[in-house]
A and B are shown apart, each in its own frame.
Chain A
Amino acid sequence: MKKTLFDKIWDKHLVHEEDGKPSLLYIDLHLIHEVTSPQAFEGLRETKREVRRPNLTFATMDHNVPTLNRNNIDDPISAQQIETLIKNCEEFGIKLFDLNSPYQGIVHVIGPEQGLTKPGMTIVCGDSHTSTHGAFGSLAFGIGTSEVEHVLATQCLWQNKPKTFEVNVSGSRQKGVTAKDIILSIIGNIGTAGATGYVIEYRGEAISTLSMEQRMTICNMSIEGGARAGMISPDEITCEYLKDKPNMNNLKEMKKEWLEFASDEGATFDKTLSLDASKMSPQVSWGTSPGMVSGVDTRVPNPNTEEDPVKKKSLEDALEYMGLKADTDIKDIKLDTVFIGSCTNSRIEDLIAASKVFKGKKVASSVNAIIVPGSQLVKYQAEKLGLDKIFKDAGCEWRESGCSMCLAMNPDKLSPGERCASTSNRNFEGRQGKGGRTHLVSPIMAAAAAINGRFVDVREYDIDLGDY
């Protein structure tokens, strides 16, 4: 029988199945961070349980670490969470990339960087953007804290089998249209609950030609379409990316195994959607959910054109929160802040592309732009390439790695009414700070917005972006 990538991974990891019950899956890699793990360890202690396979769990601290002066955490409760993680990792024998590690960073950036993420694996983390790792052809998804405890104790997880959803993106992108614009277009198309109950496999020419880092951007936001996970079949690009990562012994043998996970030619999916990348423009979100998005060359929608009362009210609420009038030209929206970072868009290719837009230009005087690399390793790479200098010369702030303004649990937040072009993944009310207004965009759209103080169509820029 012809199998999809998902089917192959699922079957390989089945420990136990029974009619009418969820299946018990074996978990290859478990990532943890400071916010969703303390209660799980507490649970283990209360029940006197051990961690079954400490060497399959890795920890980092990313969500509430400061990006300035990181050795001095002012917020006592953040400091306590970080302390707690250190203590828990020591007590249970788990490897931790702490604030002093040159490999610390956002959990979904460091997994692939450290060669922990590999094709064919099952990967979980108490964080919804775990779907990022699906870019390598793994089944990776976010779990709650009870499940974190469950994985620690048993290295397994109960799962109801999701359905499969093929999203086929054909055609080639216009210059200036990035992976971020593809995924925003997909979510705009299917809606924020469009893939609930499904695992998406992204396929087609516009996907298979993407670099690994851009594939991660796509899979990262699968959850924003409601999907359990997003994945891409492993290919030569996957193997090429992995070959010089740490922990790669027996590369030749592994490569053969990895490639076998790719969906079989002719395998069928429960649902299919086809889109054409050549018709996509750079995307800007204008509302308070990631599905509220449209091309930079369009206008903010008008709620009066919506007939469904629930949708109409959502639209009205969103525009009110965002402080936007219906029918405003997207390019007339002025910004106060620009944030380039998060597990969606903070890898080296993102920073290189943004630097090309910033090079020799100045950030508009009305705009505050901050750039937060995804990991300390990305920071090091960027500084080696001199990107930090380009950013600082343009007037941007260059920070230490972490989640930062993606969710504003550390001191980086928007004030009420402040308007931000952000390369992160969520534009929910208050996500970047209470009353803050978030517009989701790609790194090059964010950089162009920083320079102009408002959104511009980055396709008009005459720069060589390479494959980005």
Chain B
Amino acid sequence: MEKFINFRSKPTPLNSANVDTDQIIPKQFLKRIERTGFGQFLFFDWRFHDDGSENPDFVLNMPEYKNSSILLAQDNFGCGSSREHAPWALRDYGFKVIISTSFADIFYNNSFKNGILPIVVDNDLLSKFFKFINDDSNYEMDINLNDQTIKDNLNNEFKFDVDAFRKKCLLEGLDDIALTLEHKKKIDIFEKNYLK
């Protein structure tokens, strides 16, 4: 996995709650057998009209957000299907951070495994972020995972929480399986007693 590095970007304000993984990546694109190339299909039904043309009203298509790598979303982002294609599509499109008031469990897990940092903030702070970017499309955030801070170009600084273990994995780009295999002896012993 790629290491997570600090960066600066404007956030894309996706003003919808309960965005499910069927919206993030519709099922007709789940048939690939690779992990890459899903970005083109991200939010497909919202991003494109039936004739294949871009829907200019959808936030990802607005020119000011084209290069954003931070997604702001309302509550319960990533609910529904367990498809890891959702974080694959977000990552491939260029999103590295998602900020919401809550995430669905499996999506939250899947994000870390793909180098995406999901940040949980409270309702007031999320509303503030939406307001800042809606008031001024030059609004930008600096994400620093090591310090667990979001600094912005209005000179605000906000702290966020992240589980220490997951933080380490993101920062160092650690492979989960390699980590587990460090415990191979323990697994062997457990299994010997357990499988009898």
Contacts and interface: CB of A to CB of B under 8 A. Distances in A.
Interface in A302-354: 310-311, 313-314, 317
Interface in A73-130: 75, 77-78, 80-81, 84, 126-128
A144 B186 contact: no
Given A192-B79, A193-B104, A196-B104, A24 B31 contact: no
A218 B163 CA distance: 32
B162 to A, nearest CB: 12
B20 A428 contact: yes
B109 interface: yes
Contacts of B180: 24, 150, 153-154, 156, 158
B177 A154 contact: yes
Contacts of A196: 76, 102-105
A226 B165 contact: no
A144 B187 contact: no
Contacts of A78: 31
Contacts, number: 153
Interface stretch (A202-210, A239-247, A429-437, A455-463): A429-437
A47 interface: yes
Given A35-B30, A409-B28, A434 B109 contact: no
B104 A39 contact: no
A317 B74 CA distance: 14
A409 B113 CA distance: 26
Given A20-B164, A314-B18, A193 B79 contact: yes
A150 B176 contact: yes
Chain A interface residue bracket vs B: 35 or more
Contacts of B110: 144, 146
A81 B165 contact: no
A15 interface: yes
B59 interface: no
A133 interface: no
Given A42-B33, A158-B180, A26 B23 contact: no
Contacts of A38: 33
Interface in A130-149: 142-147, 149
A365 B186 CA distance: 64
5 contacts: A24-B186, A150-B180, A155-B187, A226-B105, A409-B27
